[in-house]
A = this chain, B = another copy of it.
């Protein structure tokens, strides 16, 4: 930096991105005495968080869990996450997150985030109303229910949207946090795209080069820069390089998720992790899925149908080549479509309807005998109230009768990326030499978080807020 160069803005802590990680960093940095400026690519705060269902994955015995009658422990939460977050999950980070979960819940409540102590226990992606607690990772389904005592840990801020048509859970999470930040004096400027991290001659990050309406802008960070711009789900080149399975189908993300933070930090030698990992949504009515059987292109079942839809999505996309079908009978279809928790978007007629399994098998184009054997085995177990193959819970077991239908669910998946910058538990961005890059911090989906090759809804808003706070505190220290 030559002394003659001008800064357009200055702050102690500069945060790129005003979603869940950015606002959490802003609050904690401001509380630590820092002057904080948030720069945001979009025209306002919110990010993907404000548009999300709003789940925050928390446990260990929160007030909401207790009020709803669930026992939970830090140990059970950790045991679940260690398995459910997939091969390669960072057990040290998971333990750290579980240890801090109760305090983090209280922090959110202190910031004004409302949670209604009501449990929703039906299959689905989200509660139909303003219920505050739900299973969001398959904790009570096989195999996870054999690994740790199940407890629901999806905490959703009380929303008014589904009741009054106003605001959803993600908005009800973000609004009080942004209000808290604003009350603390946090400043924000919008329509600003960061494109380069500025460093001093010793390598320390001292600011950000950006553009607003195409005009160059230089923002000085006296103590530190926090990268919180979200995933790279909308960066086509990065998707092709790292996560091609979700190419062309980003979901639960916003187009501001361009991977820019990751690229800027990589240019300084930042390390990465879990770049191929993705959340995968499965676009089918969970009430119908639980009542049917999912089969792959060989007519074989592969997942207990009553588990977390995101797990079904991952197994369908990554293990079954996105080539799957849902088989059900007329009664199941009728019940599911009539369910109060079913989603209007998924109220679709079957792709095929036949009198016999053999006819359906031929209609779909499955190998002769394959689906017939699968349905026969499933029905034999269901008659006894058992699913010896995949351990779907007894409440969803009933022999599949006639007429029998199927939904073509090939390609019914989409998702966002879970990999990103490698950070310490204090959200310092690590250089490939193993040392933190001075002055640089990251949280949210720009960083590799709790999830590696598994997922549970609420993990992103969970680790984004949790490590966003850490980033804010660490950056404020300078």
Contacts and interface: CB of A to CB of B under 8 A. Distances in A.
A273 B367 contact: no
Interface stretch (A41-49, A66-74, A368-376, A462-470): A368-376
Interface residues of A, number: 44
A433 B377 contact: no
A428 B192 CA distance: 33
A225 interface: no
Contacts of A370: 377, 388-389
Interface string A437-478: 000000000001000110000000000000000000000000
Contacts of A247: 87-88
A240 B88 contact: yes
A320 B298 CA distance: 14
A269 B268 contact: yes
B301 A298 contact: yes
A241 interface: yes
Interface in A243-273: 244-245, 247, 263, 266-269, 271-273
B263 A432 contact: yes
A263 B433 CA distance: 8
A400 interface: no
A9 interface: no
A172 to B, nearest CB: 35
A394 to B, nearest CB: 16
28 contacts: A88-B240, A88-B241, A88-B247, A240-B273, A241-B271, A241-B272, A241-B273, A241-B422, A242-B274, A242-B275, A244-B452, A244-B453, A266-B266, A267-B269, A267-B432, A267-B433, A269-B269, A272-B275, A275-B276, A298-B300, A300-B300, A318-B318, A318-B319, A319-B320, A368-B388, A369-B377, A369-B380, A370-B388
